[in-house]
Amino acid sequence: MIEFVKGKVNYIDTQNIVIAVNGVGYQIFCANPFIYQVDEEKDVTIYTYQHVREDAIKLFGFRSREERALFEKLLNVSGIGPKGALAILASGVPQQVVQAIEEENEQFLTKFPGVGKKTARQIILDLKGKLTDFMPSLVGPVYELKNEEKEKANYPRELEDAIEALKALGYVEREIKKVAPKLATDQLSTDEYIKKALQLLLKL
């Protein structure tokens, strides 16, 4: 197994990044590829998970070993594949996911793409009590999980999805509120909203 890849961020796409290492480009699928935008042409270390199927071999990348460990735990849940596990990591920070599992917060887990009530219950049954000792650094900060979503502005669905992605990248509500009105003036795809938002946020 490839433990990690260290090299320069050569390319960023909506689902993956390319890391250049000694003249070789490694395509690595990530939960939030655009988080590496600030690292372009810089040396970064990506912790990897190698997924092998009959028709494909893919590398999945993570900022930390703890994040990778949560990904691997999610893969052990019936009904969760690599794509689903990445979607969960992309939609919420690991601390929130772990807390939701420990608190049996099905409503929070069903917010993730492809996770219905049955899958959320399976995640809780399979993982509750198995994450705190395994990933203590992920459980440290306690986050308040709202049972009801905050009232949203009348934004297009694509922009709402982009805002959720920005939150997953670590941007706080105060920062997002500053750029959201500027984004709402254009009709873009979710990926285009994310790219434009990141450009605006870097100027704050």
pLDDT of residue 93: 67
Residue 36 has pLDDT above 80, yes or no: yes
Which residues of the chain form beta strands (DSSP E)?
Answer: 4-12, 16-21, 24-30, 43-52, 57-62
End-to-end Cα spacing for the chain: 41
Residues 62 and 3: beta-carbon distance below 8 Å: no
**Is the model's pLDDT at 151 over the cut of 50?**
no
Q: Which residues pair with 25 in a beta bridge?
A: 20
Residues 185-198: tens digit of each pLDDT: 888 888 888 988 88
CA 173/CA 161 separation, integer angstroms? 14
Q: Whole-number mean pLDDT of the chain?
A: 83
Query: What is 65-139's CATH number, 3.40.50.620, 1.10.3720.10, 3.40.630.30, 1.10.150.20?
Result: 1.10.150.20
Tell which residue, 122, 92, 130, has the closest CA to residue 108: 92
| pLDDT given for residue 131 in this prediction | 81
The per-residue pLDDT for range 88-109, each reduced to its tens digit, is 888 656 778 888 898 899 988 9
- Taking the model in full, what pTM does it have? 0.64
Q: CA–CA separation, 51 vs 38, rounded Å?
A: 27
Quick one: fold of 4-62? OB fold (Dihydrolipoamide Acetyltransferase, E2P) (2.40.50)
Per-residue pLDDT tens over the stretch 41-50: 788 999 999 9
The first and second tokens of residue 77, run together, are 């849940």
DSSP letter, residue 128: T
Contact 164, 170 (CB under 8 A): no
Residue 191 CA, chain-centre distance (Å), reads 14
pLDDT band at 121; cut points 50, 70, 90: very high
Rounded to a whole number of angstroms, the CA Rg of the chain reads 17
Stronger pLDDT, 199 or 1, i.e. the higher one: 199
* Residue whose structure tokens are 């509500």: 173
Of the ranges 28-32, 36-40, 140-144, the best mean pLDDT one = 28-32
Pair 109, 59: CB distance under 8 Å? no
Q: For the chain, what percent of residues have pLDDT higher than 90?
A: 31
Q: How many angstroms separate the Cα of 37 from the Cα of each of 5, 169, 197?
A: 17, 11, 12
List the structure tokens of 21. 């290492």
pLDDT at 140 over 50: no
Q: What is the mean pLDDT of residues 63-86?
A: 90
| Residue 147 to residue 33: CA distance in whole angstroms | 29
The full 3-state SS of 60-119, as one line of letters, equals: EEECCHHHHHHHHHHHCCCCCCHHHHHHHHHHCCHHHHHHHHHCCCHHHHCCCCCCCHHH
